[in-house]
Amino acid sequence: MTKAQAKTQETSAPQADTELALQGVWRVVVLNDPVNLMSYVVLVFKKVFGFDEQTARRHMMEVHEQGRSVVWSGLREKAEAYAFTLQQWHLTTVLEADEAH
């Protein structure tokens, strides 16, 4: 690793922490709906988030049994992008501020 690469890595971590502090952490929440098949929801989770089969099924079952599942959390801009993408796949999705962070 060159000195320039090391310097970039050193400055990027504090910058990410600063962004989180300024923007806060946001959660992408998928809500249960009476329309989509469970297999379809698993497929969407795998495609959008790159989840493996087991992780996608776990989140789908949370949606089915508890009415909701937090599928991602992080910076607001990325959360909004994920929420928009899931809505394009016709999943009922909302954003929530994560007050714990």
Integer Cα distance of 1 and 42 in angstroms: 40
Give the CATH number, domain containing residue 45: 3.30.1390.10
Strand runs labelled E in 1-101? 25-31, 68-74, 93-98
Residue 12 lies in a domain: no
Q: What is the mean pLDDT of the chain?
A: 86
Amino acid residing at 93: T
**pLDDT at position 24, please?**
87
The per-residue pLDDT for range 47-65, each reduced to its tens digit, is 999 999 999 999 999 999 9
Single pTM value for the model: 0.77
Q: Mean pLDDT throughout 39-43?
A: 98
Tokens of 6: 């090391």
Integer Cα distance of 101 and 98 in angstroms: 6
Integer Cα distance of 10 and 88 in angstroms: 37
Give the structural domain span for 46: 24-98
Residue 78 lies in a domain: yes
Q: Tell whether the model's pLDDT for residue 10 goes beyond 90.
A: no
Structurally, the chain folds into a number of domains equal to 1
Residue 18 lies in a domain: no
**pLDDT at position 17, please?**
57
